[in-house]
Amino acid sequence: MMCYCRLFVLLALSSFVVESRHLKGNSYELSNFHPSGTNATIEPKIWAVLVAGSNGFVNYRHQADICHAYQILKNGGLEDENIIVFMYDDIAFDVENLRPGVIINKPDGDNVYKGVPKDYTGEDVNVDNLLAAILGNKTGVRGGSGKVVESGPNDHIFIYYADHGGAGILGMPSGVDLTAKDLMNTLKKKHAAKSYKSMVIYVEACESGSIFEGLLPKNMNIYAITAANANESSWGTYCPGEFPSPPSDLDTCLGDLFSISWMEDSDIHDLRKETLDQQYQLVRRRTAVDDMVGASHVMQYGNKTIAKQFVFNYMGANPKNDYYSPSSDDDSSLTTTPSIVSQHDATLLHFWNKFRNAPEGSPKKTEAHKQLMDELSLRKHIDESVNQIISVVFGQEKVPEMLNTVQSAGNPLVHDWDCFKMLVNSFKRLCGSTSRYEMKYSRAFANMCNAGVHINNATQAITQACSTSSPP
């Protein structure tokens, strides 16, 4: 009789262990330790903040990235109440999208737009709402769903941002851009409030390393991965005319190289068995290809011991991947790097393909030609404006120094962040564009601040330069 009782108990315990691998609401049985440990477990919640910082069909890839990330988290078992999505939401039903209500993140991909929460859209995608949401400050958000990260001391937080960036800044479609210092101050407040156990941040943007370089302490239990170091571009992929190309009815890039690398890995791997460091290494190899001109270097910042934890702790895990085998055919795609296009040039490529594919003599051909010429004219105006600003404030001989000086590794971009914030946002307001080409010059404004520029003189020079011979 005792044998049967013991057998019954063992079967019950076995059933409990199996069931505990599945979600109960958003409470997970997650290991807080790395694979070599056999320590006791805790039951935190996972919170996620997904941010597409651009708008316009020309920037299709950023919202596609964010929608794809949502599907990974949702398939991983996270509840919508714990996933906060910031995206302008203007591409799924844009007139240029010949697949209304459909967004894809790879040429043969599924519709990643389906079911994505519309927490903060349009003008509600702004810095103030984002930082308030991260802090869990419900009274600080204006508009949108009002959803914020209401995390506790045992919870894990995942933040993923995709957009244009520049030295020290991340783009936002409405209002001012997000500076590295403002983000860091918010993270420090979150840490001081003891409202998370650990946090992982992935950033897809040009010069994204500058957001954390010399700024993110190692003692805040935050681990950050960026698509590029502090001085280089990140890259769009699945672009028209490249390999592999998007479907013929989509003349825009579908994704970004860093982003599709970590997400395509997450799509097939068992994230209960893959560590953050293993994912980082795979993405790093796929992104920094030796024979590729201009490939970027994926970087790590903050508390790197967190990288020993499983990805599951921050993204959940899709039960369909429980039996993933490293030898599976799907894995071969993760070692292949698709063709890439600089973030700064993706807009030109979009307009060029619209022009090239439009019927000869058609109104579409005329419109596409005008869009292409307007973008080229705008870029020329921005280039000339920055040269004029530096010349007025420092003299023509200082232009190369202001444009090209780079801080040494380990040091923050700028000393006076208030000066920097004032200049870059003044320049955005007066010279900015949907393509965000102007962001490539944020380093010049940092160098001007480091050189002790008088803010009033600089803002006057910006106003004068941006209003002179302004493009259409």
Where in the sequence numbering do the catalytic residues fall?
Answer: 164, 206
Burial 202-215 (b: 16+ CB within 10 A, else e): bbbbbbbbbbbbeb
- With beta carbons less than 8 A apart as the criterion, state whether 49 and 133 touch: yes
Q: Residue 63 phi/psi, 5° resolution?
A: -70, -30
232 φ/ψ angles, rounded to the nearest 5 degrees: -130, 165
The secondary element (H helix, E strand) that includes residue 15 is helix 2-20
Return d(Cα 390, Cα 368) in angstroms, integer: 34
Using DSSP, state whether 290 is helix, strand or coil. Answer: coil
User: Contact, 51 vs 161, CB < 8 A?
Assistant: yes
First to last CA, the chain: 89
Residue whose token pair is 């993933």 = 324
Residue 244 CB burial class (10 angstroms; 0-12, 13-18, ≥19): middle
Three-state SS at 50? strand
Number of H helices, E strands in the chain: 13, 12
Inter-CA distances, 391 with 195, 250, 407, 428, 457, Å: 48, 42, 22, 19, 12
Residues 6+ apart with CB under 8 A from 396: none
Contact indicator for 465, 426 with CB cutoff of 8 Å:
no
